[in-house]
Chain A
Amino acid sequence: MPSSVPSSRRPGPPAESVAERLAIRFVLNGKPVEARVEPRRTLLWVLREEFDLVGAKEGCGVGECGACTVLLDGEAVNACLVLAGKVDGRTVTTVEGLGGPEALHPLQQWFIRKHAVQCGYCTPGMLLSAAALLRRNPDPTREEIREALAGNLCRCTGYVQIVEAVRAAAREMAGR
């Protein structure tokens, strides 16, 4: 293993339980990483507990609210439903890695500008569902946006400003 690969922040588990742990290597927000976790752990747990990435939120823990949505190989998934082992060898993008180090992603910028952020608890998941949509459909209609975001609950905004933000970001990204 190359020494430059960052590993999770936790010290290794006690010797007797090592066998129960699973070594996973994946690309997280553009960088190769590895972690040793119990097989029952979810991707959400790995992100929050092993890598201190708390942008993905737990709103229900069973895939009903979408607050933990991240991108797995570019597709939006509920991180609370993905077992850690499934991530091995794949690519994960969280809200922390959505924009570049310098600038925010156009979706983030338009969420801010269009007032699509109120309490913010759904925002990271909402952004990543929108990012997955724009990846496969750069010019979505309002209806397509509404369908794509239907797995992400928001109780503050009534969704209107979120849908507008996604449309504006799509236009900007397409250079329209």
Chain B
Amino acid sequence: MAEKTFRVVGTSVTRKDAPLKARGEALYADDIRLPLMLHARVKRADVGHARILRIDTSKAEALPGVKAVVVGEEAPIPYGIVPQMPTEYALAYKKVRYHGEPVAAVAAVDPDTAEKALDLIEVEYEPLPVYTDPKEAMAPDAVKIHEESPFPANIAYQAEQEFGDVDRAFAESHYVLEKTFRTSYVNHAFLEPHSAVAKFDTNGELTIWSGTQVPHYLHRTLSKVLEMPMQKIHVKVPKVGGGFGGKGEVSNNELIAALLARKAGRPVKLTYSRKEVFLQHRGRHPIEIRMKIGVDRDGYIQALEYDGTMDGGAYGGWGVVILFYTAAMLHLPYKVKNVRFRGRRVYTNKPTCGAMRGLGGVQPRFAMESLLDQIAIDLGMSPYEIKKKNAIDQTHETVSGVYVRHSEYKQCIDKVVENSGYLEKHRKLPFGRGVGLAGGYYISGTAYTLYMSYKPHSTATVRVDTEAGVTVYCGATDIGQGSDMVLGMMAAEKLGLPFDQIHVVSGDTTLAPFDLGSFASRVTVAAGTAVCQACDRVLEKIFSVAAVQLGCRAQQLAVADGEIYSVFEPHKKRMGFWEAVERYIDANGPLVASGEFTPPRRTGKFKGANIGHSPTYGFTAQVAEVEVDTETGEIRVVNYWEAGDCGQAINPQSVEGQVEGSIVMGMGQALFEQVRVAEDGRLLNPNLHDYKVPTAADLPQIRTHIVDSYDPDSPFGAKESGEGPIQPVIPAILNAIYDAIGVRFTEMPVTPEKVLEALERRKSERS
């Protein structure tokens, strides 16, 4: 095991970007202004599903101040984050598949002119039936939203998995409970709307500044859609105002800005309005889940069956991957020996669903934690007991072949139950007040990539220079979560230097080496490993010089507090780090080294077997305490406790921020948030007034706890903390509501109307 006495790791250093952000100095894409820059606006379809018969842009082009207009026919190459299944276009091509889809775009000298030009564009449609409900879309006679899709009706993809003898295990179960759950249509609601600035230079090279989570996927997609070599494209990520998955695939504003810039011969900025953010969407899939769990007399899980219909919206996006994540998520963090999964993702005429914080996990977690809670109560057992009994041990292999190399999940459950006083409160609080327990986990990166390449998933280069200092170059992108800080802290720890001496250059496809991007809670482990390895290789070079100087073996050398020393004679044989660096550079030239990370590759012999494997996993257990106002139906989350296993916290304050942000975001989905859609596919609340996200006023008292944990195979023992903590939030709150008023909600959001209706129904049933 690595040394656990750290100087930088485990401390709450302040982020280097924080002062810039607190002073308004940090630049986001919309803050960028270039000479002669044009402003773009997008003409959007006012139909939900239609064939495009004609687009006439001549009047718009004739408007003074308009410099370029583009339509879908000018970029007819489909793309998608899943390269095997490209379904999308920069602008609607031949067909419109959701109300508000881009059909044309204008670049003009100012936003007003661009806006005016949109009204001059004429589009003629042949309307098609609009499907907003997956059930209608799956009807055998439904018109296909994607004609080329190989599955029946509007099924985008479907799959089955079976492990063990499910039917027999159910037959032999002491108690079986089945329920249907419906999850809601929610948006990330990051504060910064999508924005991109694109510029072509005289050599035909494209530079694009965009707030994306995945600069390298954007790089490749631009090359494909604009039909130009990748080496002529430079993607630069300025500060990103939040992503949560919503900027985890190419957004059409990026492609449209580039297309317009090329056509106009001038730089183009395209920033979306809040409504357009809701149209670009990629939020969490609504899923109708039928889940059945069988347990033995003692509450040990015998079998689990899942049937899920995912409402995918108009395009593919991350859909098929998420479908398989819902399958993978059934196998943890409990020991389940017999599992049947049936799932399908269905196209509908709505903004496309995709990756949202904790993708694929949140929905099945809601069902599973709710069912286990109910089963425990039905058996006269504490939900704590049933969860603890079934929880996986420190290492575990699922029946689907997923290997967990390190888990402190049991410790999480114990700790949160202890801190919250759950056992003293559950079923003992007065009517209207209750507590709920739920657990969860998430991957720390994936074992499989959609990037269609065998190269390492993360790479980093470290340059140590007597003049420029230490610079870490890594393609991993800081989207606000603080990954630059994490990577800088790791480099500082490795090189024995103060954190503020480390510069991090990230999110730049020209300057920084390849990294898949910021998603799947992967950066700390993947990019962190690459940075650590690069630092080790830098040290190897420095040590070779220092060893000669000090007269000892290079293998005896270590570094701390700016000094290189022999571990055997630390007082006698030591020299300054920078002195050694200078000698190395004088003799050899630049001091540079790279590192890389490729996750252990695991798979299986069934459909979707690539999905669910991860180098390591983060765990969490949570208790919510709610108060239900039985007069108004209003639910207030009063207290919230969390205990999490993120391995060694690189920066504990940063981990707390991730956990608290996850809890409040999950609470929003549980109680308030839902994008509502009219029958014609129009969004009814694409704004932050009618789409309610939690405010500071809704904040419960939150107490988080990082359990003692260290994954010896991870960089500095660290695991993920950004997506695991959102997994149990919804069921913890809904289990607490059950404890408070005896109503088991299986649909979210649990609004005051639904509470009052349920209380009324209960009253009439009793009388």
- Which residues of A are in contact with B by a Cβ distance under 8 Å? 53-62, 64-65, 67, 94-96, 98-99, 104, 108, 111-115, 117-124, 127, 145-147, 149-163
Q: CB < 8 Å: which of B653, B687, B689 contacts A161?
A: B653
- Taking the closest CB of chain A, its distance from the CB of B244, in whole angstroms, is 7
- Taking the closest CB of chain A, its distance from the CB of B403, in whole angstroms, is 32
Nearest chain B residue, comparing its CB with the CB of A94:
B24
Contacts of A156 in B (CB 8 A): 242, 480-481, 657, 661
Contact between B657 and A158, CB atoms less than 8 A apart: yes
CA distance A152 to B478 in the complex (A): 23
CA distance A95 to B24 in the complex (A): 6
CA distance A150 to B697 in the complex (A): 5
Give 22 A-B contacts (CB < 8 Å), ordered by A residue. A53-B24, A55-B23, A57-B30, A59-B192, A61-B274, A64-B687, A64-B688, A65-B191, A67-B191, A104-B19, A115-B656, A115-B657, A118-B657, A119-B242, A120-B480, A124-B24, A146-B696, A149-B695, A156-B480, A158-B699, A159-B664, A161-B653
Contacts of A98 in B (CB 8 A): 23
Any chain A CB within 8 A of the CB of B26? Answer: yes
- Taking the closest CB of chain A, its distance from the CB of B649, in whole angstroms, is 12
Contact between A158 and B702, CB atoms less than 8 A apart: yes
Contact between B22 and A108, CB atoms less than 8 A apart: yes
Contact between A112 and B14, CB atoms less than 8 A apart: yes
Contacts of A61 in B (CB 8 A): 273-274
Nearest chain A residue, comparing its CB with the CB of B689:
A64
Contact between B241 and A120, CB atoms less than 8 A apart: yes
- Taking the closest CB of chain A, its distance from the CB of B283, in whole angstroms, is 12
Contact between A121 and B274, CB atoms less than 8 A apart: no
Contact between A115 and B191, CB atoms less than 8 A apart: no
Contacts of A153 in B (CB 8 A): 189, 191, 688, 693, 695
Contact between A155 and B653, CB atoms less than 8 A apart: no
Given A67-B191, A104-B22, check contact A160 B702 (CB 8 Å): yes
Q: CB < 8 Å: which of A57, A151, A158, A159 contacts B192?
A: A57
Contact between B653 and A115, CB atoms less than 8 A apart: yes
Contact between B699 and A163, CB atoms less than 8 A apart: yes
Knowing that A117-B17, A163-B696 touch, tell me 7 more A-B residue pairs with CB under 8 angstroms: A60-B687, A95-B22, A111-B18, A115-B657, A156-B661, A157-B661, A158-B662
Any chain A CB within 8 A of the CB of B492? Answer: no
Contact between B190 and A56, CB atoms less than 8 A apart: no
Contact between B240 and A119, CB atoms less than 8 A apart: yes
Main secondary structure of the interface of A (DSSP, over half): loop
Max chain A C-beta neighbours (<10 A), residue from B23, B656, B688, B689: B23
Q: CB < 8 Å: which of B188, B659, B699 contacts A155?
A: B188
Any chain A CB within 8 A of the CB of B663? Answer: yes
Contact between B660 and A160, CB atoms less than 8 A apart: yes
Contact between A117 and B18, CB atoms less than 8 A apart: yes
CA distance A158 to B242 in the complex (A): 13
Contacts of A157 in B (CB 8 A): 657, 660-661
Contact between B191 and A59, CB atoms less than 8 A apart: yes
Nearest chain B residue, comparing its CB with the CB of A127:
B22
- Taking the closest CB of chain B, its distance from the CB of A120, in whole angstroms, is 3
- Taking the closest CB of chain A, its distance from the CB of B164, in whole angstroms, is 39
- Taking the closest CB of chain A, its distance from the CB of B683, in whole angstroms, is 15
- Taking the closest CB of chain B, its distance from the CB of A101, in whole angstroms, is 11
Contacts of B24 in A (CB 8 A): 53-56, 94-96, 124
Contacts of B14 in A (CB 8 A): 112-113, 115
- Taking the closest CB of chain A, its distance from the CB of B624, in whole angstroms, is 14
Tell me the chain B residues, 636-675 only, with Cβ under 8 Å from chain A: 653-654, 656-657, 659-665
- Taking the closest CB of chain A, its distance from the CB of B520, in whole angstroms, is 18
Contact between A155 and B242, CB atoms less than 8 A apart: yes
Any chain A CB within 8 A of the CB of B239? Answer: yes
Contact between B239 and A120, CB atoms less than 8 A apart: yes
- Taking the closest CB of chain A, its distance from the CB of B466, in whole angstroms, is 30
Contacts of B657 in A (CB 8 A): 115, 118, 156-158, 160-161
CA distance A111 to B20 in the complex (A): 12
- Taking the closest CB of chain B, its distance from the CB of A121, in whole angstroms, is 3
- Taking the closest CB of chain A, its distance from the CB of B299, in whole angstroms, is 33
Q: Which 7 A-B pairs have the closest CB atoms?
A: A55-B24, A119-B480, A120-B21, A121-B241, A158-B660, A158-B664, A64-B688
Q: CB < 8 Å: which of A60, A149, A163 contacts B688?
A: A60
Contact between B23 and A104, CB atoms less than 8 A apart: yes
- Taking the closest CB of chain B, its distance from the CB of A112, in whole angstroms, is 4
Any chain A CB within 8 A of the CB of B472? Answer: no
Contact between A155 and B661, CB atoms less than 8 A apart: yes
CA distance A157 to B479 in the complex (A): 13
CA distance A121 to B28 in the complex (A): 8
Contacts of A57 in B (CB 8 A): 28, 30, 191-192, 241
Tell me the chain B residues, 694-708 only, with Cβ under 8 Å from chain A: 695-697, 699, 702
Contact between B656 and A161, CB atoms less than 8 A apart: yes
Contacts of A54 in B (CB 8 A): 24, 27, 31
Contact between B689 and A62, CB atoms less than 8 A apart: yes
Any chain A CB within 8 A of the CB of B337? Answer: no
Contact between B18 and A112, CB atoms less than 8 A apart: yes
CA distance A67 to B24 in the complex (A): 11
Contacts of B660 in A (CB 8 A): 157-161
Nearest chain A residue, comparing its CB with the CB of B704:
A160
Any chain A CB within 8 A of the CB of B482? Answer: yes
Any chain A CB within 8 A of the CB of B12? Answer: yes
Contact between B239 and A119, CB atoms less than 8 A apart: yes
CA distance A147 to B697 in the complex (A): 5
